[in-house]
């Protein structure tokens, strides 16, 4: 790349979106290896799963932009994808919300299978996490088990898996081990009521501390 310090968050032109201006000198569109775009377009056209996901996502965006909630968009996406069985990988702290989501899926004619993050019931110390790093010290505290969540949903042969509030990092592991495509319904933020972007909205006031240099 021409300028390693310039990336898309440095830009104010966004010609990639409008194509009504000029690309910045160090724009990733014009300065990345041409093979990246070629390979991406090739996959969209020739990889069956990639093509179906890209088309279904674009159709949901185009047909329902600003009209549907995230819950509804996921249902429309699943139907356009041809998914019949939806996996729910849920945080224990959001099990009630997942129960509601499951009811909605059923009402919309979709099958589901849900797996809670504490599945297996194994204490955190079993994988080397010391007691002092537990939330509640001095007793049993089950580890979050995204690998087992993924393996169970793989065995259930789900067509699409939906993350409901898995912890930072645990969501990464679940996505890595899931056979089915994964989308997210809820992103966990215990402080912001599971609305992490609220911290970004308030960096000019209540969360100005986030911009302080360390």
The answer to whether 82 and 52 have CB atoms below 8 angstroms apart is yes
Place 207 in a pLDDT band, splitting at 50, 70 and 90.
Answer: very high
- Summarize pLDDT for 75-87 with one digit per residue, the tens: 999 999 999 999 9
Domain ranges of the chain: 31-67, 69-214
pLDDT at site 4? 58
CA distances from 137 to 94, 132, 142, 205 (A): 22, 6, 12, 35
pLDDT in tens, 28-55: 999 999 999 999 999 999 999 999 999 9
**For residue 2, pLDDT beyond 80:** no
Q: Is the pLDDT of residue 3 over 80?
A: no
pTM greater than 0.85: yes
Query: Is residue 183 within a helix (H) or strand (E), and if so which, with residue range?
Result: strand 182-186
pLDDT at 148: 99
Q: What is the rounded CA–CA span in Å between residue 55 and residue 47?
A: 12
Under 8 Å CB-to-CB from 75, ≥6 apart: which residues? 104, 105, 108, 110
Q: What is the CATH number of domain 69-214?
A: 3.40.50.1860
**Cα distance between residue 11 and residue 19, in whole Å:** 14
Q: What percent of the chain has pLDDT over 70?
A: 98
Contact predicate 117/90, CB 8 Å:
yes
Work out the number of other CB atoms within 10 angstroms of the CB of residue 162.
25
Burial of 144 (0-12, 13-18, 19+ CB in 10 A): buried
Q: Is 80 exceeded by the pLDDT of residue 1? A: no
The answer on pLDDT for 206 being more than 70 is yes
């Amino acid at each position: 790349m021409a300028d390693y310090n310039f990336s898309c968050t440095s830009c104010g032109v966004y010609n990639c979106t409008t194509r009504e201006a000029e690309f910045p000198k160090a724009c990733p569109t014009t300065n990345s290896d041409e093979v990246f775009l070629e390979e991406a377009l090739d996959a969209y056209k020739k990889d069956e799963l990639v093509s179906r996901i890209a088309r279904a996502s674009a159709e949901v965006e185009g047909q329902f932009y600003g009209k549907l909630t995230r819950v509804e968009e996921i249902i429309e996406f699943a139907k356009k994808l041809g998914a019949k069985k939806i996996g729910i990988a849920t945080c224990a702290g959001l099990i009630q919300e997942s129960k509601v989501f499951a009811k909605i899926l059923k009402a919309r004619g979709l099958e589901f299978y849900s797996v809670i993050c504490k599945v297996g019931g194994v204490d955190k110390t079993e994988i080397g996490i010391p007691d002092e790093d537990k939330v509640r010290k001095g007793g049993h505290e089950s580890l979050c088990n995204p690998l087992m969540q993924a393996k169970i949903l793989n065995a259930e042969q789900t067509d699409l898996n939906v993350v409901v509030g898995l912890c930072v990092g645990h969501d990464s592991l679940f996505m890595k081990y899931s056979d089915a495509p994964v989308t997210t319904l809820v992103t966990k933020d215990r402080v912001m009521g599971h609305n992490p972007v609220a911290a970004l909205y308030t960096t000019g006031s209540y969360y100005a501390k986030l911009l302080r240099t360390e």
